Amino acid sequence: MIRAVDAPLLDGFVVVDLTRALAGPQASMMLADLGARVIKVESFEGDESRGWGPPFVGDDAVSTYFLSCNRNKESVTADLKSDDGRRLLEALVRQADVLIENFRPGVLARLGLSPERLEELNPGLVLCSLSGFGHDGPDAQRPGYDQIAQGEAGLMSITGPAGEPTKVGVPIGDLLTGMNGAFGVVVALLERERTGRTRPVRTSLLAGIVGIHAFQGTRYTVAGVVPGGEGNHHPSISPYGLFRTAGAPIQIACGNDALWHRLCAALEIEVENPSWAKNAVRVEHRDRVTAVLEDILMTESAEHWLGVLAEAGIPAGRVRTLDEVYDWEQTRSQGLVVEVDHPVLGRIELPGPALRFGDNDYAGGRESHTAPPLLGQHNDAVRSWLGLDSHSVKEVNA
């Protein structure tokens, strides 16, 4: 595919998005951020995340949840079980480079898009399928929701205080699955470019969470240790965690022994046990190490100690609320907040894309972004592009 030198990286690629809720919409939004044309196909009731709230904003009660994961897309509505819906979907598949779906395994085939039919319609199509627990195996048919997956995939067992399984504050399983799906799509498109071959891309909430167990996973698979929740302190590094001061708590991360010695010098600590020079010993006596540090930190404010630690080159930071994060100059300097013109809300700000290419905030991606679409906003435009009659489109705003 030929594109202009200064065009977004995925300019000219068409993605048909049959997903809803979060994992799939996250994947397609990441592709849209890089310039792909994403056409979101919704039921006449709409993606269920349009109804997830509060909060809702505006006279039309727009869900802020939906706004978080659907920028840079077009919306068309259809009943995929009807003749008209099937005609629309097949026409879209013929024009698409990518089809993303998060139905339970087997549902896409029951809608008339078996692997054989997809091959017949579009031999170059990249199919990306997202599921809860994988596309085969004994639990393949289980419905996938993030909260369930966080528990089943072990994440809750290692999050929060000991004995208190705790979910992560965002639907991290959905988000990881979306990220993995988008990554898989880009690799599949590269393979198609190089070899002309396409293969299905498959991932799941289970895979997304197990795939980021990292050192917690190898604690069990290699060392036979079953990790548990350890609150706000690292299980294998000390001191590395959240510490109380005379004001707000602060975070300190001594990732090596040299930083520990610098921390002792900065806080004028008389180390009571010379063996604490080694991280493994500090981990073994972490409660005592934490107590020694907090005895000193509790004498001054968080701002005071952050200044001292910064001067000493010790990694440290505050715990910001989200309003502080989005108002932070560093956040905005990285292009992590974008402005869009919404059809009913006007000018609004959204969390922005995480990727940058080169020195330009938007190099490789879009120079500007479009708001998440209203339900069926692009029915006529997309049907006209496909050469289909628009009269059969159900009025969704009647």
Could you read off the pLDDT of 272-326 as tens digits, one per residue?
788 899 999 999 999 999 999 999 999 999 999 999 999 999 999 999 999 999 9
Instruction: Note the pLDDT tens digit of each residue in 230-246.
Output: 999 999 999 999 999 99
Burial tier of 130 (Cβ tally within 10 Å: 0-12, 13-18, 19+): buried
**3-state SS of 16-58?**
EECCCCCHHHHHHHHHHHCCCEEEEEECCCCCHHHHCCCCEEC
What pLDDT, on a 0 to 100 scale, did the predictor assign at position 2? 58
Average pLDDT of the residues in 335-361: 90
Residue 394: band (very low, low, confident or very high) from pLDDT cuts 50, 70, 90: low
Identify the bridge partners of residue 318 per DSSP, sorted by sequence position.
Answer: 250
Task: Please tell me the predicted confidence (pLDDT) of residue 357.
Answer: 84
**Closest among 362, 365, 396, 364 to 379, alpha carbons compared:** 396
Please state, in angstroms and rounded to a whole number, the distance separating the CA atoms of residues 28 and 216.
Answer: 30
Closest by Cα among 303, 260, 265 to 285: 260
* Signed CA dihedral, 144, 146, 151, 157: sign only: positive
**pLDDT value of residue 397:** 40
What is the C-alpha end-to-end distance of the chain, expressed in Å? 41
Collapsing DSSP to helix, strand or coil, 349 comes out as strand
The more confidently predicted of residues 170 and 270 is 170
Q: By percentage, how much of the chain surpasses pLDDT 90?
A: 89
**CB burial string 64-81: b at 16+ within 10 A, e below:** ebbbbbbbbbbbbbbebe
- Mean pLDDT check: name the lowest of 3-17, 188-202, 382-396: 382-396
Distance of alpha carbon 11 from alpha carbon 17, whole angstroms: 16
Q: Annotate 269-328 with DSSP letters as a single string.
A: ---S-GGGGSHHHHHHTHHHHHHHHHHHHTTS-HHHHHHHHHHHT--EEE---HHHHHH-
Burial class of residue 358 (count of CB atoms within 10 Å of its CB; 0-12, 13-18, 19+) = exposed
3's tokens: 């594109």
For residue range 5-16, what is the model confidence (pLDDT) as tens digits?
678 899 999 999
Structure-token pair, residue 176:
């990881």
pLDDT mean over 96-117: 95
Residue 398, pLDDT score: 38
Average of per-residue pLDDT values in the chain: 94
Mean pLDDT of 344-360: 90
Indicate the angle between helix axes 83-95 and 379-386, nearest 10 degrees. 70
What is the predicted pLDDT for the residue at 365?
80
Q: Is residue 363 over pLDDT 60?
A: no
- Give pLDDT tens digits for 34-66: 999 999 999 999 999 999 999 999 999 999 999
Rounded Cα distance between 99 and 91, Å, is: 12
pLDDT for position 361: 57
Asked if pLDDT for residue 342 goes beyond 80, the answer is yes
- In this model, does residue 395 exceed pLDDT 50? no
Q: Does domain 14-212+330-386 have CATH number 3.40.50.10540?
A: yes
pLDDT, residue 391, reads: 57
The first and second tokens of residue 230, run together, are 């350890």
Model pTM score: 0.93
pLDDT value of position 74: 98
Q: Averaged over 143-167, what is the pLDDT? A: 96
Q: According to the model, what pLDDT value does residue 282 have? A: 96
Taking the C-alpha atoms of residue 99 and residue 376, their distance in angstroms, rounded to an integer, is 19
Q: How far apart are the C-alpha atoms of 158 and 216, rounded to whole Å?
A: 8
Q: For position 9, what pLDDT does the model report?
A: 92
Residues labelled catalytic = 174
Give CATH 3.40.50.10540 domain extents, the chain.
Answer: 14-212+330-386
Mean pLDDT of 120-134: 97
DSSP-based three-state secondary structure for 252: strand
pLDDT of residue 3: 59
- pLDDT of 270 above 90: no
- State whether the Cα torsion 265-266-267-268 is positive or negative: positive
Give the model's pLDDT for residue 396: 42
Asked if residue 385 lies in contact with residue 81, where contact means CB atoms within 8 angstroms, the answer is no
